[in-house]
Each structure stands twice: as C-alpha cells, then as structure tokens.
Chain A
C-alpha cells in the first residue's frame, strides 16, 4: 500500500516536471505609468504568438524616480524582470558598470529592423567601446513650447529667439505685458532627472562647452557652459520670470505643466513631443483645445546666437537583465518591442516618436499629425554624450538648481555644489 502511494507520488512529480519543462518560457517585463503599461499590453499578444513565449508585465510605481529606485533594488538583489527600461540614456552607463545589463550588440546589428533605425538612435544606443547594451526604441525630442495664443493676444513676437539674450528679453517682455511667468526650466531635487534632462541639458548643448564627458571617460564639470546655464536659471529665478514654489513641492511638474500652462499662467516651458499628446493633447486630463495651433515650438537658441538646437534623447530604452533566466529569448522580445507597431502604440499614448524611419509609412502613426514632422526632423537633433557617473551628475544638477530655487547661492556656488556632490560620489580622479 505504502509502495503504491510512493509510486503514485513520484509519477505525479515527474508529470508536473514534464509539464513545466514543456510549457513556454516566461519573460517578465518591467513597466511603469498606466499609459506605458497600456501601450505594452497592446503589443504583447502578437509577440507571444510570434515567439511562442509567455510574457508577464510587472507593474512598477509611476514616478520615474520611484520606478528606477525599485528596479535598481531588484537588480541588485538579482530578482529583477528580464526586460526593463531606463528613463534616460545617461542612466545606462552606470547600469552597465554595475553588471546589470547584457550585451546585445550582435543581436541588434543582425536584426532586420537595424537598417531602419535613425542614425542618431544608433549613436545613442552604442557605448564608447562600440558595444550595445540598450536599444532606444523611441525618441524624445525636446525644445521650448510656448502659448502662441497668449503671445498673439499680447502682441508679443512668436519668432524663433536667436540667442539666450533674445530669449531672455522675450521672457521679460511676457512678464511685463501679461504678468504671467515667461519660461519654466525644470529644477530642483524632487523633479528627479528632469532638472538635468529637461532643463540644464537643453541649454548646455548650446554653450561654448557643450559636453561634459572627456575622451578618457572622466567628467569636466568646471566648464564655462555649466556656469552660464546656472546663471541663466538664476536670472529667471531672481527676476521672478519662472514659477518657483511649485518646483519645491513633492510633485513639481503637476502645477506648472498640468495647471499653469493650460491656464495660460505659464507661457513657455521646455518639453518634449509628448507634451502635444500626453500633457496637453488627447491623452491629457487637462487638454488645451486645438493644442497644435495654441501651442508653438522654438528650438532652444544657442547662447551666442550661432544657431539653435533640438535635443533628442532615448525613450523606452530597453535593456536585457544580465542575470535573467533566458537572456536570448529576452533579447528577441526586446527586438519585437522595437518593431514599428509596438513603438506606434507607445507614440499614440505618450507622444514620443518611434526611433525608426519606416514608422512614417505606418497608417496609425500617420494619424498622429503632431508627431510626423517631429520624426521627419529627428535626425538633425543633438544630444549630450553620456558616460559612467551620469546618475550622480544628474542628481548634482538637481541639487545645484534647488539651491538656486531657494536663493541660497549664485551660479558659481551652484556649480560648486554640483562639483562637490559628484566628487563625493565618484571620487576626485573621476571629476575634473
């Protein structure tokens, strides 16, 4: 009797093992924010059918900072999902240095979608050593968005400002004629990476020292350009040209971006193409009617008037967990997520643009007239070369701009805060 029970038990165990091994592999994907999760879910059935894989979406907290902290904790513990995204290209070198992400160079370069990738995306997705650990499946294209209707009503020019001085004069004119805030540059510690990626970086690439990564991988934070950017911030703050109080609160983007700008209380702000869709467009909770007519764009002028720049950066920057159970299958899923239709699903809900030329032929993408010209012109965008230690640089700029917001220091003092903070974290040898 006992022997029969034992035999039955063993048989059941073997059967369970056999079923387990015969079932499809499961790939876990980390995603956050409801719009992004919806976009991902829209693409999963087709990918599962094509690759014969089960995909599980692991939902993370919405704010970028909280998402990334939780993800890093799990990566450190070795139990993170197989696929995940970074918030910014500059996050990637530190993830690589930590050994968290797998090398996907061969898979990406032999992928049939590779020739369709924008050249700027190939450059953004490639490390200085020529290896690829990330694939920027989407791009954000950032510039200055302004309320054309408000400026027209006040009789203020909507022409592209040619230099920082001209931009500042325009902002002062807005304040003088309308009493509204003229320009918002994200700043402070609670905006997460926004102070750097949506504020400082856009200005810095138009200065005399547009890069901070040296050829030897060290960081130069003493450049004149950084001082000038911080001084530009200080002028906006001291002359009450940008809102300050909301930036010191826990969710600093909410009041200026979602309330003040739609209400016309803030007339211009740096933003990306997502603003036309997610912040003030069809996916917004507080949309601006006829947003593409009411809201215009200026490229960020260079400091000296030598031109202007549109900054591009990766979005939906997919990476494969180096400690994942099946990195090969995870890489295949990554490539499928970077195909045209999945990226268009993200574009529809978030307003970033697919990182590939053939998206222009997609009917769903053509139904997004706000984004089509952005993709057509994306190749001309510029970007800040990132490297190891940029997570610290980003936080250092957040602290520097926070000190300016609190009027505790001048531009030189803010730059010193940046240098001290980054040196403390990375060491003297890493920061010049």
Chain B
C-alpha cells in the first residue's frame, strides 16, 4: 500500500533528523551514560583499580558530599558565575549594546575593541593576563597602579577569585553585547517614539520599555552564559590551576584535578554527573522563567 503524502513527509523529516540524532547519541548520550557508569566504580588511571575496576555503588557520591574540597569548589563556582557571567558580562554587555545602539563616532571601532577579546583563545588570553597580573612589581597592573600609591603585589595570589572574575568578564562582554544588540534591534522603533511623545525620560524608557522587552533575550543569555561559565576550564587552568589553595578551583578544575591529577576517574565522574544535574536544573529553571516551549 502506497504511503500518503503526509506519511512520506514524516519519514523524510525523521531521516533528516537522523544525522543529528546519531551525533547526539555518539557525542552526548553515550559519554554521559559512560560517566554515570564510571561514577559507580572505582575506575582509576593508575594503580590496581586501573587494571581491575570494581563496582562501588554510591560510595563516590557519599564521599563527594562529605568532601570539603567539593563544597569549596561549588561555592567558588557559584561566586565566579554570578560575578563574571550574571553581573560582569551582562551589565557591561548591556551597557555596551545600549551605548552603541545609537549614532556614535567611531562606533565600529568600539564594537571591534569589545569583540576582540572573544576572538582570543582561552589559553592565549590566560597567558596575556598572567603578564598583566603575575610578577609582583613587574606586572603590568602593579606598574599602572603604582603612581596611584597602590602597593605592588601578586594579584593572582592576593585577590585570585576577583582577578579571574575580571578576566572572564573581559573575555565575555562581546557575547553579551551581541545578544543584547540583537534583542534591542527586535524592539519596534514606534514603541520608543510613542513613549517620547508621551514625555517619557531616557531613564523611564530604559526601565519601562527596553528592559522588559529585552527579557526573553536576557534570559536566553543567562541560560547560555551560565552553563557556558560552569564549563570554563582553560582560562582558569592557565591562570591559577585552581590555586592558591583552592581559591579559584571552579568545578571544571576540580573535576580535572580529581580525574587527572589524583587519577580517580570514578570519583571525578561522580563530580561531573552532579555538575550535569546542576546544569540541567538551571537550564530547566531558566526555561520555566522564560516561559518558552522547548
């Protein structure tokens, strides 16, 4: 019996989805499933457990939740995400988008200057900032601040968390600005015109019109940026390797340290699984707040 047109169309659509599904299974679902399985074993990179890993049930999770290092890492990650992504990048990105969303001399130059940090690879950015922040009196920042009477110091040791927040903010403003610029472009001009005719001030227009109408864009940014910031590794590893004393050991670094420094793949996988759950929860929360259908 010949298929109907609708049935053929449905099969065509499924076939079109097939390559994406295969990639999803190969690179997301299987690795995630493997990580979940590993988290239930004592699999290691070295020692007897590397040769004969054993099923240990929830032991890794029990140990994880009683491990001060894990909670410290979670706290550091929380402060890092809030500081660099939610506050730093968003506020400055929104400011840049609003400021550059009007006729301005050298507008393209300003935009290019903001975009440039995003074009620099993570590791290169890390090394650039090491020259800015490390080396005590020889560091660029110490030399810039010396005329103001600020004593020279090892910035990555005296204020490590603040420094990595600053560096990540610097690097991520461009992404926020691009998203906010697209959001601003989607707001109809006649809404602004009507507000001005009603006598609204610039501040009122921003708080009452721009910001509310940007809400979907803002939450989209928050979703992508938060999850992306949770996954940062190279920048922090280059700058501090999680130190001093765990002060910048965000969760990605913690997972690396447990898996590839302490060689405990099982325990490292347990942390990764918890992180996956937190990211999924945050994603669901944002989507719920955004009230969009996914």
Contacts and interface: CB of A to CB of B under 8 A. Distances in A.
Interface of A: 65, 69, 72-73, 75-76, 94-95, 97-100, 188-190, 245-246, 248-250, 388-389, 391-392, 395, 402-403, 405-406, 408, 424-426
Interface of B: 44-48, 50-51, 63, 134, 154, 156-157, 238-241, 243-245, 260-264
Contacts of A402: 245
Contact of A392 (B50, B154, B262): B262
A425 B63 CA distance: 11
Contacts of B261: 65, 69, 189, 395
A180 to B, nearest CB: 16
A98 B46 contact: yes
Task: Please report whether the interface of chain A is mostly helix, strand, loop or mixed according to DSSP.
Answer: helix
Contacts of A97: 46-48, 50-51
A388 B241 contact: no
B245 A391 contact: no
A188 B244 CA distance: 9
Contacts of A426: 47
Closest 3 CB pairs of A and B: A248-B244, A98-B50, A69-B260
B99 to A, nearest CB: 36
Contacts of B260: 69, 72-73
Given A97-B48, A391-B263, 17 more contacts: A69-B263, A72-B45, A72-B46, A73-B45, A76-B45, A98-B47, A100-B50, A188-B245, A190-B241, A245-B154, A245-B244, A248-B243, A249-B134, A249-B244, A250-B156, A389-B47, A391-B47
A391 B47 CA distance: 9
A249 B154 contact: yes
A425 B51 contact: no
Contacts of A245: 154, 157, 244
A98 B51 contact: yes
A95 B156 CA distance: 35
A97 to B, nearest CB: 4
Contacts of B243: 188-190, 248-250
Contacts of B45: 69, 72-73, 75-76, 98
Contacts of A73: 45, 260
B245 A425 contact: no
Contacts of A388: 47-48
Given A69-B261, A248-B243, A406-B245, A391 B154 contact: no
16 contacts: A65-B261, A72-B46, A72-B260, A73-B45, A94-B46, A97-B51, A98-B47, A98-B51, A99-B51, A248-B157, A249-B154, A250-B241, A391-B47, A391-B263, A405-B245, A406-B245
A383 B260 CA distance: 27
B151 to A, nearest CB: 14
Contacts of B50: 76, 97-100
B48 A249 contact: no
Contacts of A403: 245
Nearest to A402: B245
A12 B160 CA distance: 62
Contacts of B262: 392, 395, 425
B241 A94 contact: no
Most chain A CB within 10 A, of B50, B241, B245, is at: B245
A420 to B, nearest CB: 10
B51 A391 contact: no
A205 B111 CA distance: 62
A65 B263 CA distance: 11
Contacts of B156: 249-250
B238 to A, nearest CB: 8
